[in-house]
Amino acid sequence: MAGPVTPLSPAELAPSDKALVPFVSVDNMMRLIHHVGIEPMLRELAGYIEDDFRRWELFDKTPRVASHSDVGVIELMPTSDGEAYGFKYVNGHPKNTREGLQTVTAFGLLADVYTGYPVLLTEMTLLTAMRTAATSAMAAKYLAPKGARCMAMIGNGAQAEFQTLAMKALLGIDTVRLFDIDARATEKVARNLAGSGLTVVSCASAEEAIEGAQILTTCTADKQNATILTDNMVGAGVHINAIGGDCPGKTELHRDIVARAEMFLEYPEQTRIEGELQQMPEDHPFTELWQVVSGTAPGRRDAQQVTLFDSVGFAIEDFSALRFVRDRIRGTAYYADLDLLADPDDPRDLFGMLMRSG
């Protein structure tokens, strides 16, 4: 027979420190980004990502877990370095913008491996745009031709300004040439980048956008194999930063470009499913970017080479971004304590805690 239940006092009802998980809302993420500064934060994030690429081998790695539908994909992206564990929830729905919604939204969590307790829950829609751009620029540092100053930005959606500013912050790009099949998207980027210090040129075609550009970024969204760049458009010595091909049956480059370019990628097991690499035979050569970053493989070797970063986005980049946020919010007001974890005084008396709260 159950005995009388003593109700908890207000002090006892208040969650203990262990129950509280720092939560970074979209509002607080925007404050944090402005506090650090967009370009300084892109540089700092690139540093965190680079550090984690250097210790690539010690991470748990798996292709992301994808749930596909006719209209999009929902994915979970987990990894761990043995001390911390992180995952991101992210979607990709190219039709969403027509319905007033974003193509990509995300949130993520970092946990302590020793206790298994979460230590951070955060929005990651903005953070994904920042980390994707930082990763692109980090890769371009090793792969773009020396002295690159002009980039083409094809696909002028949510990621575009971030991609452009990261190339400015890390490589010193001073000119961006924009193209999108929707002129309103190009107008939006041109408006947002006015005052950034960049020369912004709006173009009427992809051919026009790549004129004189040493870095060609493709960041389009379509749920099919598209041909954003054809072989004849790609001259010697350029670096292609291919961001938008990141799902089975969703690519951006003509196969002949992929065949001719020197390919660099994140995690082969995932890129084979999702990247431009899905167009190529099993034995197609590539270099893993972490090897370039850690100095065990060369990046760009000469001025004539066409380099291709076949980016799909990998969990370790999100882990780095989560580490950055955990470190940077300490001692600030850019988070709220979220009562996320049940924390009974007697760890085995979860039921008693429930009954005393009634």
Ligand X SMILES: NC(=O)c1ccc[n+]([C@@H]2O[C@H](COP(=O)([O-])OP(=O)(O)OC[C@H]3O[C@@H](n4cnc5c(N)ncnc54)[C@H](O)[C@@H]3O)[C@@H](O)[C@H]2O)c1
The position carrying tokens 């003593």 is 6
Report if residue 123 touches ligand X, rule: CB under 6 A: no
Which one of 310, 311, 318, 323 is in contact with ligand X (CB under 6 A)? 311
**Cα–Cα distance for residue pair 14/52, rounded to 1 Å:** 38
Strands 73-80, 65-68: parallel, antiparallel or unpaired by DSSP? antiparallel
Which one of 157, 233, 267, 320 is in contact with ligand X (CB under 6 A)? 157
Amino acid residing at 331: G
Cβ 307 to ligand X shortest distance, Å = 16
Q: Name the residue number minimizing CB distance to ligand X.
A: 157
Nearest C-alpha neighbor of 87 from the set 119, 121, 110: 110
The residues with which 111 forms a beta bridge, in sequence order, are: 85, 118
| Nearer to ligand X among residue 22 and residue 313 (C-beta) | 313
| Nearer to ligand X among residue 17 and residue 99 (C-beta) | 99
Cβ 258 to ligand X shortest distance, Å = 15
| Nearer to ligand X among residue 142 and residue 334 (C-beta) | 142
**Cα–Cα distance for residue pair 302/265, rounded to 1 Å:** 19
Report if residue 52 touches ligand X, rule: CB under 6 A: no
Q: Which of 52, 81, 246, 318 is catalytic?
A: 246
Site residues (CB under 6 A) for ligand X, limited to 80-99: 92, 94, 97
| Nearer to ligand X among residue 208 and residue 343 (C-beta) | 208
Count of residues of this chain found to bind ligand X when the rule CB under 6 A is applied:
30
Nearest C-alpha neighbor of 154 from the set 232, 245, 92: 245
| Nearer to ligand X among residue 64 and residue 118 (C-beta) | 64
Which one of 155, 299, 315, 320 is in contact with ligand X (CB under 6 A)? 155
Strands 175-179, 336-339: parallel, antiparallel or unpaired by DSSP? unpaired
Nearest C-alpha neighbor of 139 from the set 328, 265, 280: 265
**Cα–Cα distance for residue pair 162/68, rounded to 1 Å:** 27
Report if residue 313 touches ligand X, rule: CB under 6 A: yes
Nearest C-alpha neighbor of 218 from the set 275, 174, 260, 256: 275
Which one of 182, 339, 345, 349 is in contact with ligand X (CB under 6 A)? 182
Neighbours of 354 (CB within 10 A): 12
Residue positions counted in the chain? 358
| Nearer to ligand X among residue 122 and residue 335 (C-beta) | 122
Nearest C-alpha neighbor of 179 from the set 157, 199, 158: 157
| Nearer to ligand X among residue 56 and residue 179 (C-beta) | 179
The position carrying tokens 């370039």 is 292
Contact pattern for ligand X over residues 12 through 51, marking x by CB under 6 A = ----------------------------------------
Which one of 52, 123, 161, 180 is in contact with ligand X (CB under 6 A)? 180
The residues with which 265 forms a beta bridge, in sequence order, are: 288
Site residues (CB under 6 A) for ligand X, limited to 189-248: 219-222, 226, 228, 243-244, 246
CA 222 vs CA 35, 90, 96, 108, 227: distances in Å:
34, 17, 11, 25, 11
Cβ 16 to ligand X shortest distance, Å = 37
Judge whether 246 counts as a catalytic residue.
Answer: yes
Report if residue 185 touches ligand X, rule: CB under 6 A: yes
Neighbours of 273 (CB within 10 A): 16
The position carrying tokens 């992301």 is 64
Cβ 83 to ligand X shortest distance, Å = 24
Cβ 93 to ligand X shortest distance, Å = 9
**Cα–Cα distance for residue pair 310/274, rounded to 1 Å:** 10
Report if residue 78 touches ligand X, rule: CB under 6 A: no
Which one of 79, 105, 122, 132 is in contact with ligand X (CB under 6 A)? 132
Q: Which chain residues interact with ligand X by CB under 6 A?
A: 92, 94, 97, 103-104, 128, 132, 154-159, 179-182, 185, 219-222, 226, 228, 243-244, 246, 311-313
Active site residues: 246
